Amino acid sequence: MAAAAARWNHVWVGTETGILKGVNLQRKQAANFTAGGQPRREEAVSALCWGTGGETQILVGCADRTVKHFSTEDGIFQGQRHCPGGEGIFRGLAQTDGTLITCVDSGILRVWHDNDKNTSSDPLLELRVGPGVCRMRQDPAHPHVVATGGKENALKMWDLQGSEEPVFRAKNVRNDWLDLRVPIWDQDIQFLPGSQKLVTCTGYHQVRVYDPASPQRRPVLETTYGEYPLTAMTLTPGGHSVIVGNTHGQLAEIDLRQGRLLGCLKGLAGSVRGLQCHPSKPLLASCGLDRVLRIHRIQNPRGLEHKVYLKSQLNCLLLSGRDNWEDEPQEPQEPNRAPLEDTETDELWASLEAAAKRKLSDLEQTQGALQTRRRKKKRPGSTSP
């Protein structure tokens, strides 16, 4: 039934334990999908993106450098491809024109043939975008254009159909009031619709807007939020503002035209790892280390719409862009179907039960030893109180 109902899930979440979770917000249900049956932390999901067939296919980037193809229509994994090269986990994943684009921590960006999923042939293109990459993002309007950025790795924009040099390379801001160099740490990147502009959020709680068409390579707008590193960012449906999240679970909407704070969202208890707004509805999906998927309403009245505890640390998410969320056909329920539980939860309870039995056994042995000592110390002819 989970496979048959997979197409109606509203949110897909990648976890630290290598599980792809599909969440149906109308039914308040979550289903687990794994390629090999048992989840493994070596296959932790670090990146998700939609395939070329729209929302019928999900590309799942794992920590062991495999990219798995998951069909939302059939609810099963339909193959995988190993993408070696470089060091670290995937920091970005994209697909265009039958090719697969990957980028890892060490700054190796590669383009692969995606028609041969089970082979690891040589890549079609390899670019060195600089070490310490935190994010690689594809331009939705121009799929052959990507942007990269990271720690001490300034924002760059690349045309995969052009030269091996970036078409835009950002310049660091001027020194601060003490004439000290300002460090670089771009954590997330977004392309602004209808323009060539890009927006970044940094590990030093800054939000910056860059315009490649401008003569200057420095930001054309800069603002700050809070005191903690910003870890994730998403565009709102209108494209005039962004919502950022930080390491303390704080969410805020920032206007990109004036650089001012529009409002805040509450409810998160851990570092934010993934954010995505619905393309037409005023809804925001968020996930992070507190293991809870939340759906907020971002227009007045702001507030929490849905909250689902998913038992695993969450790394990334995909929010379905369909409008007819409520138009789900009623499917017959399977009789005597046990609810799907996480393997890590079962292992946790098993370990707790074993620990409780050991503790009880030790306690009984201790009590027996105490009683034996008391009998030995008891004097002949004395009466116990």
d(CA 321, CA 237): 11
Q: What is the pLDDT of residue 163?
A: 83
Q: Which residue has the higher pLDDT, 38 or 112?
A: 112
Q: What is the pLDDT of residue 385?
A: 43
Q: What is the pLDDT of residue 204?
A: 95
pLDDT tens digits, 127-174: 999 999 999 999 999 999 999 999 999 999 999 988 889 999 999 999
Tell me the average pLDDT across 265-291.
Answer: 92
pLDDT tens digits, 26-50: 888 899 998 776 778 888 999 999 9
Other residues' Cβ atoms within 10 Å of the Cβ of residue 36: 11
d(CA 133, CA 128): 11
pLDDT of residue 105 exceeding 60: yes
Confidence grade of residue 381 (pLDDT, cut at 50, 70, 90): low
Confidence grade of residue 369 (pLDDT, cut at 50, 70, 90): low
Q: What is the pLDDT of residue 348?
A: 53
Tell me the average pLDDT across 358-380.
Answer: 62
DSSP, res 222: E
SS3 55: helix
CA 40 to chain centre: 17
pLDDT of residue 383 exceeding 60: no
Q: What is the pLDDT of residue 347?
A: 53
pLDDT tens digits, 53-63: 778 999 999 99
pLDDT tens digits, 324-368: 766 555 554 443 333 444 555 555 555 566 666 666 666 666 666
Q: What is the pLDDT of residue 301?
A: 87
Q: What is the pLDDT of residue 340?
A: 41
pLDDT of residue 126 exceeding 80: yes
